[in-house]
Structure 1
Amino acid sequence: MSNSRAAAVLTTPDLAEALRAVRTLLDIADLHQAEVDFEGVIDSPDVLARVLHVLPDLEWWAKADKEDGSSEAGDDPAGCLPIRVFDWCNSLDVAEPFVAAMGPSPVAVRWDLNAWPEVPEAGLPTISQKYAYLTLALNSRDIYQDEPSPDHTVYVHVPSDDHIPRVEWLAAQVGGRYSGRVEISPL
């Protein structure tokens, strides 16, 4: 197993600004066969209903433990709240509806890209699919939702610190800056 380095490039209390930054970065990325993954906690029936409208086949388990309920066991998620969402391999078009459905709940949305393309004028080589990710941490200061916050942070993933020039270049494209904040993200 390997890890990527998720580098924060923009933190803002404005969800619309965070989503604009994500859209800009997606316009730069190679999206051939790209997917989006969701991770978070649903703790209210209203949020659950909104999320199930977007993702009727939601993958989840009870926050306490899988044995206390899961989608795999065919349990009713409403009877198992709070539940933990780990839903993978979704089409890109469900990302923003999922974000809207989650409301103020802490959540991470990760786009699995085909590549960060070469940028010859900046001297940046292609970064392959294995390390090309983009994460939006909503209502959280980290990609794992351990540190709730009113802010939203956009992270770009790269293989190592040797690729910080790519992070700085991507941050500049969205009006952000590389803050030096990096989290290790298992792939």
Structure 2
Amino acid sequence: MSNSLAAAVFTTADLPEALRAARTLLDIADIGQAEVDFEAVIRSPDVLARIGHVLPGLKWWASAGEEHGSSVAGDNPADCLPIQVFDWGRPLDRAEPFIAALGSDPAAVRWDLDAWPAVPEAGLEAISQKHAYLTLTVNSRDLYQDEPSQDHTIHVHARNRNGDPTARIHWLADQVGGRFTGRVELAYL
């Protein structure tokens, strides 16, 4: 397991605007072999039904702990609400339907990119898959749904070989009309 640093670069209460920003950044990234990962806290049967339709075979456990129910044990998630969702390696086309299914429940959607490409005019070298991610937190300001909110935040993960991602983070923030807030979180990958 490795870690990444996720820098908040764009926050808005307008979910379509957050999705537009995510799409803009995905258009910049190399995504030929990219996947998407999901983390969420699901509280209602309606949201659970919608999420289950989007992500068949959903991996989850009861928020009270796995001993209170999990997908591994074959339990019915509706009997264990609220549940934690932690589902990895899905196709990119699952991201927006997942987000639309959430309602007001908090979540993080992380795109595991192939690379952030070189941007010679900005003096930026390409960043490999190991250090190229994009996360949209929905109804939460943090990566782990510990700070529920009514807004949504774009986080970029980027680490250059020299260890200083600041120039790339500022450049990516500029592409979506955002700014690097200085807020960085450790992301477990």
TM range (shorter): over 0.9
1:67 equivalenced with 2:67 (yes/no): yes
Tell me the secondary structure at the aligned position of residue 33 of structure 1. coil
Tell me the secondary structure at the aligned position of residue 105 of structure 1. coil
CA offsets per residue over residues 12-49 of structure 1, 9 Å max, x none? 00000000000000000000210000001111111111
Note the aligned Cα RMSD (angstroms). 1.1
Match of 1:53 in 2: 53
Match of 2:87 in 1: 87
1:129 equivalenced with 2:129 (yes/no): yes
Match of 1:167 in 2: 169
Q: Under a length normalisation based on structure 1, what TM-score does the superposition of the two structures give?
A: 0.97
Q: Is the contact between residue 35 and residue 113 of structure 1 (CA under 8 Å) also seen in structure 2?
A: yes
Q: Is the contact between residue 3 and residue 159 of structure 1 (CA under 8 Å) also seen in structure 2?
A: no
The CA distance in 1 between the partners of 2:174 and 2:120, in whole Å, is 16
Deviation at 1:131, TM superposition (A): 0.9
Q: After the TM superposition, which residues 37-48 of structure 1 pair with which residues of structure 2 at under 5 Å, given as runs? A: 37-48=37-48
The CA distance in 2 between the partners of 1:117 and 1:80, in whole Å, is 43
The CA distance in 1 between the partners of 2:132 and 2:42, in whole Å, is 28
CA offsets per residue over residues 80-117 of structure 1, 9 Å max, x none? 11110001000000100000111111100000001001
The CA distance in 2 between the partners of 1:50 and 1:2, in whole Å, is 31
Match of 1:116 in 2: 116
The CA distance in 1 between the partners of 2:90 and 2:17, in whole Å, is 23
Match of 2:31 in 1: 31
Deviation at 1:186, TM superposition (A): 2.0
The CA distance in 2 between the partners of 1:86 and 1:69, in whole Å, is 14
User: What amino acid is aligned across from residue 147 of structure 2 in structure 1?
Assistant: E
The CA distance in 2 between the partners of 1:62 and 1:5, in whole Å, is 27
Tell me the secondary structure at the aligned position of residue 56 of structure 2. coil
Farther off after superposition, 48-57 or 158-167: 158-167
Q: Is the contact between residue 9 and residue 176 of structure 1 (CA under 8 Å) also seen in structure 2?
A: yes
User: What amino acid is aligned across from residue 67 of structure 1 in structure 2?
Assistant: E
Tell me the secondary structure at the aligned position of residue 93 of structure 1. helix
The CA distance in 1 between the partners of 2:3 and 2:29, in whole Å, is 20
How many positions carry a matched residue from both structures? 187
Q: Under a length normalisation based on structure 2, what TM-score does the superposition of the two structures give?
A: 0.96
Match of 1:150 in 2: 150
Deviation at 1:65, TM superposition (A): 1.0
CA offsets per residue over residues 131-166 of structure 1, 9 Å max, x none? 100000111111111011111000000227611100
User: What amino acid is aligned across from residue 12 of structure 2 in structure 1?
Assistant: T
1:13 equivalenced with 2:13 (yes/no): yes
